[in-house]
Structure 1
Amino acid sequence: MYLKLFSSCKITLGAKNSIILDVQRDSYVSIPNTLFFVIKNLDSSSIESVRHDVDEEDKEVFDSYIVFLVKNEFGFITDKPNNFIYFDYEKIDIPSNNCIIEFSSSIVDYNTIVSQLETIKVQALHINTYSKIDLTQIEELLNPIFNNTSIKFVSLLLMYNRGIKENDLLKLGYNYPFLSQLFVYSSPFEKSVYGEFLNIHYTLEAQVSIKSCGQIKSDYFSCNDYLYSESHCFNSCLAGKISIDKYGNIKNCPSMTQSFGNIKETNLEEALNHKDFKKYWKLSKDQIEVCKDCEFRYICTDCRAYTELIHLDKEGLDVSKPLKCGYNPYTAEWEEWSTNPIKQNAIRYYGMEGAYD
C-alpha cells in the first residue's frame, strides 16, 4: 500500500521544522523534519518498505505519522499509486502587473495615469491616501477606473472619517464591482466587516507611511496556490509591481529608493521597460539569506525595501533577510525584530530608531 498526498497539500522543509500547506483550506501546520523526509520517501516507496527501513524503536512514531496524515486529510492510502501524479507547483509566467499609487497633490493628472495602467495591462490597483477624504472624493478616485478594461481588483487605504457611514462605504462595493477591499486607519475601533461585495478592515494605527510596509508576521501568511507557485519562481513582493509614490516618482515599490522617472515626464511603460526596473523580480525566497532555510518561505511575502543590509549576491542585489522579520528558522522561534542587535545598523540607516518602542 502507498500513501499519497492530496494535490492541494504541499510540504516545505525548514532548518528546524517543516510545514504542510493545504492551499484548498488556506491553512498550514508545522511538522518535524523527520515527517517531511518520511513523506518524501513515501512518494516513491510503499508504506511497508519505508517502515521496514525504520529503526525498531522508531516504528511506533512512523505509524503515528501515517495516522496523522490520513486523519487530517493531508494524504490517502491507495494500492494504485501510479494513478495519482503529484505536482508540487506549476511554473508560471511573469505575474500580472499590479500597481500602487500614493495619492497626493503631486498626482496632477490621475485620469491619464489610469489610462496608462491599461496600456501596461495592470490587473490589480491599490491606492493609498494619507489625508482625510470624503465620499465624493473616494468616488472621484474610482470613477475613471470604469473605463479601464484591464483593472479587475481595486483596494483603497483611507483615513477614518466619522462623516462617512459604514453603509455608504459598503455600497461602494455594489456601485464599483472592481472594488474589493477598504483598509481604514486611524480608526477609534479595530474590526473587519465582510460585506456581500466589499470587505472593510478598520485599524487603530494612527499613521501610515512608506516605512509601515514590510512587516513579516504569521498573521500575514497567505496559504494559496498562486503565491506558493509564484514564490518558487519570482519575488513575492516585487514581481509584476509598479508604483507611483506621493511625489510622483515611478518605482518598483513606493518604499524603495530607486526611481525610474517622474510621472510628470515619464510614462509608466517607459519606466517598466528600463533595464533595471525588473532586476529583483526573479529573486525568489530560495535565494535570500535565512529565508532560504525557512519553512514559511513560500507563503510569506518578501520585502526588499527594508532589509538587514548584510548580504549582496554576485550581481550586487541585496539578498539580506527582511528587516521586519523576527522569525528564526534555526530555532523555530519568533522574537521582537526591532530589538535584535544584528538589525540595529539597518534600523539606524532607515531612520527607524524609536519607531517601534
Structure 2
Amino acid sequence: MNNLFLRNQLCVPVKGYNRAIIYDILRKDYFLIPKEHCAILDTNDFIQFDKIEDVEEREELIDFLVNEEIIFQLSTSEQKKHFKSLNRNFENPNPLTNVIIHSNIDFRFLDLIKDQYLLNLSIISQEIDDNLLAILQKVSELEIDSIYLYIENSNIEKLDEYKKLFANYSLIFSVNFFNSKKIIDKTQLSQNIYYNFFEEEFSTYKRTLSIDKLAINAEHFLEAYNFHSYYFAKVYIDENGNIKNGLNNLENFGCIKSLTSSQFKEIISSSNFKELGTIKKKETLVCCDCEYRYMCVDSRVPSKGKKHWFHQFECVYNPYLSKWSNEEGYLNLEESGVYISASGCTIDQEKLSENFDKIWNT
C-alpha cells in the first residue's frame, strides 16, 4: 500500500484542548479523534501517517478514515493536481441575513427590510393568535428563505389543528413549542415543517447552549470560521421596537417607530452595530480551546478583555474536561482549575490534570 492519501477537503479537522473533531460539512456529521492526529490530518498535501509510530494505531486510523470517506488514496502523486483545497473565505454582500421579531411587531418595520434578502426570519409569539397569523401573511411578501416560529405557550391538544394551519405557509421551516412537557416525540415532521417540543421555558432556551443546537453544514462552518456565528448580519427587534444585536443584548441602537428606511440601514451598517458579528471564536477565551467552536451558535454577549474577548457567563460545555454540564463528572471552569477574566486565561495545570484524570480514568 502506497502512502498517497489525501483528505476529503469537506472533512475539516478542528483541534480542541483535549481532543479534536473532524467536521464533515457536506454530510452534516462529525467524528471525534485524538488531538495528536489532528496535526497530521490538517494538511492539503499527502498525509504523513508514518508520523504515527505505533503500526496498529496507524492502520486502525487509516481504516477508520477510509471507511468514513474522510480520506482517499491516489495511484500516483501526479493525480494530486486534480484536487483543490477548500476555500475557507466567507462572502456575504448583504448587511442583514437574519432577523428576529415578535408577533406584535409594528408592520412599518417590514417596510424597513423589504429590500433585504433574508435567509432566516424568526418570529417569537406568546401563543398562536391573530397577531401571529397576520404577520405570517404579511411577511410572505418579503424575500425570505425560511421562517422559524417560537411559541412560548400553546395548547398542545390542538397540535393537529396547528399543523393544518401552518401548512398554508410555505416559508415556515420549523415551529418550536416551549413548556411542552407532555410530548414524548420531541421532533415531528409534517408537510415539510419540523415541529420541535421543549420542556423548558423560552426565556431559558434563548440563553443556553446545548448539544442539540450544534449545527454542521458548509455555510455555518465558513461563517463561524470567519465571523461570529450568532451575531453576524443579525438584528433583533424587541417587543418595544428597539433595535438590538441579539436576544440577550441590552444595548439599544434605536427604535423602529421613529426611523426611515435609510436610517435603519445606516444603523445596521455601522461599525458599532456590526462589531459583535466580526468576533472570531479563535479570538475568544475558552471558545478558542473548544473543539465545537465552529458548529455552535452561542448567543452570550462577549466582553472586551485586555487582549482577547471573553464571556462573563460560562458556557454549559467545559472543553478543558470535555464535559457538558448535564454529564456526570462535570465541573465548572474554576472548579477545574481554569480562571477567566478581562486580564486573560490562567490554568492551574496540576489541578486541571488531577480533575481530568479523576473523571476519565476511574
TM-score normalised over the length of structure 1: 0.81
The within-5 A match list for 1:1-357 is 1=2, 2-40=4-42, 43-45=44-46, 50-51=49-50, 54-55=52-53, 58-79=54-75, 80-87=79-86, 89-93=88-92, 96-104=96-104, 107=105, 110-129=106-125, 131-134=126-129, 136-148=130-142, 150-162=143-155, 165-190=158-183, 191-205=186-200, 207-209=201-203, 212-267=205-260, 268-305=264-301, 312-313=305-306, 319-321=309-311, 323-335=313-325, 341=334
Taking only the aligned residue pairs, the percentage that are identical comes to: 23
**More strand, by proportion:** 2
Distance 1:66 1:238 in 2: 38
Given the superposition, is the C-alpha separation of residues 344 and 185 from structure 1 closer, same or farther in structure 2, using an over 3 Å criterion?
A: farther
Given the superposition, is the C-alpha separation of residues 88 and 32 from structure 1 closer, same or farther in structure 2, using an over 3 Å criterion?
A: farther
Counterpart residue type for residue 12 of structure 1: V
Output the aligned Cα RMSD.
2.9
Per the alignment, residue 358 of structure 2 pairs with: none
Distance 1:327 1:163 in 2: 32
Could you tell me how far 1:185 is from its partner in structure 2? 1.2
Unaligned runs of 5+ in 2: 342-362
Unaligned runs of 5+ in 1: 347-357
Distance 1:40 1:283 in 2: 23
SS in 1 for 2:267: helix
Given the superposition, is the C-alpha separation of residues 257 and 160 from structure 1 closer, same or farther in structure 2, using an over 3 Å criterion?
A: closer
Distance 1:289 1:185 in 2: 32
Given the superposition, is the C-alpha separation of residues 338 and 122 from structure 1 closer, same or farther in structure 2, using an over 3 Å criterion?
A: farther
CA contact (8 A) 1:133 1:159 kept: no
Counterpart residue type for residue 29 of structure 1: F
Counterpart residue type for residue 61 of structure 2: Y
Deviation track 1:235-261 (CA, whole Å, cap 9, x = no partner) reads: 100001011112221111132011011
Distance 1:335 1:180 in 2: 30
Distance 1:172 1:4 in 2: 50
Distance 1:226 1:263 in 2: 30
Could you tell me how far 1:23 is from its partner in structure 2? 1.8
Could you tell me how far 1:324 is from its partner in structure 2? 4.5
Given the superposition, is the C-alpha separation of residues 74 and 45 from structure 1 closer, same or farther in structure 2, using an over 3 Å criterion?
A: closer
CA contact (8 A) 2:231 2:246 kept: yes
Could you tell me how far 1:154 is from its partner in structure 2? 1.1
Counterpart residue type for residue 142 of structure 1: L
CA contact (8 A) 1:101 1:128 kept: yes
Deviation track 1:113-168 (CA, whole Å, cap 9, x = no partner) reads: 12222134334211112x3343x4432121111222x2221111113433873233
